[in-house]
Amino acid sequence: MAFKSGKYFFDDVDLQYKRVRLPFSRRLLRFAVWFAASVIMFFIYRYAFTKTFGSPEEARLMSSIETVMLELNMIDREMDDMIERLNEFRLSDDHRYRPVLEMDTLPSNFRQPATGGIERYGELTGFINSGTLLELVNKRDHIATQLNLQNESFRAISDKTTEWRRQMEYLPIISPVNVSFRLGDGIKFREKHPVHGNPQWHHGQDFRTPVGTPVYATGAGTVIEAGWNSGGFGNYVVIDHGYGFRTTYGHLSAVKTVKGALVKRGDRIGLSGNTGISSGPHLHYQIDLFGKIQNPLHYFNDDLTEEEYIEMIRILSAGAQYRQ
């Protein structure tokens, strides 16, 4: 006879084989032991697999970490480029803009970022890549400091440039008459005045011009005197240019402006003549800086040709009309 799978024993009483039937408790115990062994073997195999090949979660995490590190390296290179550009701006500040505008360079300690110790970045410590993170944060702070400082520096340079351009419009830096006319007496001590005959200083520059020669304002400013001068200048004009500068135009045959008028460089303010105490037709031109006499020849270029001077006056006059 065929036997089903399992364990059997021979029954002497019935004289036949009978299947062994374990008690329920024994069967339950055997199942528990088998189940526990299976679970243990599962974890053993899983641990061995993980140690050898790593878990899928760990693989995904490592891939994410590699991606982040790549991005951090790219950010680091971009920060280095920004620092290099900021250094170029600093060099332009220190060696180009500020010297031209007569501004002091910024002290080097102004360009150093503030430091607050490692506790300042305490939340970034304790990680695998803490060193990289701390280096990037330090660079970020350095760039932020430099950007703020450079922004303030550019603002100061811009303000100074605006003031410098305005000042250049007001400074008396052209000849008051066509440069083709010969120069007369300049600043010197006259042992004999041509009219009075007594010794005295001559405080300006004379231009030997025919009567009626156009006389131009040498810089922008406000006319503070226009008319007759009883002190010897005859018809004259005085312009206050600001910044401590005043110019005087004496012995005019006609005055073409009025007191209080705002004039631009190149505006016609009168015609040369022979009025006042004068020995012949000429223009007396005088520059004072904070009350001290200046040599007018130091304030304009007399190397221009007559055509270049006329063209300069034309451009200045056109510019003045455009601004109005």
- CATH, residue 229: 2.70.70.10
* Domain stop point among 116, 143, 170: 170
pTM given for the model: 0.59
Q: Residue 265: its pLDDT value, please? A: 94
Token pair in block for residue 304: 């221009």
Residues 193 and 163 in one domain: no
Same domain, 160 and 194: no
Same structural domain for residues 228 and 308? yes
Which conformational region is residue 54 in: left (phi greater than 0), alpha (psi within -120 to 50 degrees), or beta? left
Mean pLDDT by 10 residues, the chain (324 residues): 55 64 69 72 68 64 72 83 86 83 75 56 61 78 84 88 88 92 70 50 83 96 95 94 96 96 96 90 94 91 84 82 47
Q: How far apart are CA 241 and CA 264, in angstroms?
A: 10
Which residues does residue 150 pair with via DSSP β-bridges, in sequence order? none
DSSP state of 148: H
Q: What are phi and psi of 242, to 5 degrees?
A: 75, 180
Domain housing 222:
188-323
Both 99 and 165 in one domain: the answer is yes
Kindly state whether residue 262 falls inside one of the protein's structural domains.
yes
Identify the helix (H) or strand (E) that includes residue 225: strand 221-229
Query: CA torsion, points 260, 262, 264, 269, in degrees to nearest 10?
Result: -30
Q: Do 231 and 123 fall within a single domain? A: no
d(CA 50, CA 56): 9
Whether 154 is in a domain gets the answer yes
φ, ψ for residue 10, nearest 5 deg = -95, 120
Q: Is residue 62 part of a domain?
A: no
Number of domains present in the structure of the chain: 3
